[in-house]
Amino acid sequence: MTESPRKKLQIGEILRVEIEKVAHGGHFIARHEGAVLFVRHAIPGEMVEVEVTGVEKSFARANVVAVIEPSAHRMQPPCQYAGRCGGCDFQHIDSAYQRTLKSDVIAEQFARIAKMEVEVVVEEVSSPLHWRSRFAASTNSRGEAGFKAQRSNEVISITSCPVLIPEIDFPTLPIDQVGADKRIEVALSSTGERSVASMNLRTGRTEVRAKPTLIEGGKSLTYTAGDRDYFVSQSSFWQSNISAPEVLLDAVLDFAKLQAGDHLLDLYGGVGLFAGAALPLVGPGGRIDIVEGSVSATDDARRNFDGVANIHVHTGDVAREIKKFKRADVIVLDPPRTGAGKPVIDNLVKLAARAIIYVACDPAALARDTTYLNEAGYHLEDIRSFDLFPMTHHIESIALYTPREVS
């Protein structure tokens, strides 16, 4: 018996579908006459009308244009640009159910990629609004500032964004000094200092970062986490949720169980957030090595730990730099969204650490790297996940791996 041919969908076609479940990346799954659709702005269980916006070989993309049978979890989005701006793709869903869906995504990714059953409750961290202390935006050809539409270079002009801390919301920014077709980077420090920088962008297959021009503020800002202050340059990474550094520090240190004299290897260590909190725990007899690819971040780390004899900062590709180490008691890694990958994991496990703590912003990459760690003799002992990015599909997870006992 031959399978019925899948319907060939057309861009612009309007379909009535039932939403099945959430998918990784902020989409929801629906089917129409054998065709799989990845739908934005939906909720599982809803009956909706969608417009097809893209057709790929094995699936189609679509946006909700009408809700026929709404979910009990559907709410009025707090932002007037919902559905147009490419940012907060979950703001039509009540906050508690957003976290439930994120838990479902983590479980699905681990089941599909790592072939493991994982149950995790995504923990609330902050208010769903006014949590973001760092962001990037763009200006259009008229010099109006805003965010890009989903899967587009079109800049949606924004007058106010409800997830931004009010002190850095659009009405407060010197947009008139930025100009047309620019990227804007804005940050607010723990002390209330503000940095606003702009740069040119060349558009094409990739966006090329140009040298930033400071419009307001200094070259670095001061952030406080734990009992330390950190200098963070305009080009260096720092968590955007104002509550995130403290939350992540507490979770990482709880998993690490650092002891006096330990050697901590801090991979993708940035400006030294985790190293700074670990320093008093390993004590003067311990050692901390920060490995980071960003020159800006490692320059900041050297400034942050100037005069500290047992913290060593290494600038370079992690996959290359990790080969220089022979052992470590505890390893913390906080890679970019693409994850660490097999070359890093293969070298990491050779160091025979008693604990590996993996900070991840993508559950698919975390599940993939969990498979590599499991194959190398480390098992997933615990995992916590945090809603650091309310109103969006993004999730932050922290996983603890320990050597598997040999029977």
The catalytic site residues sit at 361
* Strand 27-32 versus strand 35-40 pairing type: antiparallel
Burial group, residue 57, by CB count within 10 angstroms (0-12, 13-18, 19+): exposed
CA distance 168 to 148: 18
* Residue 230: both structure tokens together: 């950190």
Q: Which of 265, 172, 157, 263 is nearest to 215 (CA)?
A: 172
Q: What is the CA 213 to chain-centroid distance, rounded?
A: 26
Specify the DSSP element, H or E, that contains 99.
helix 95-109
Q: Which of 316, 323, 320, 239 is nearest to 273 (CA)?
A: 239
Indicate the Cα dihedral angle 158, 159, 165, 167, nearest 10°. Answer: 130
* Strand 311-315 versus strand 378-387 pairing type: unpaired
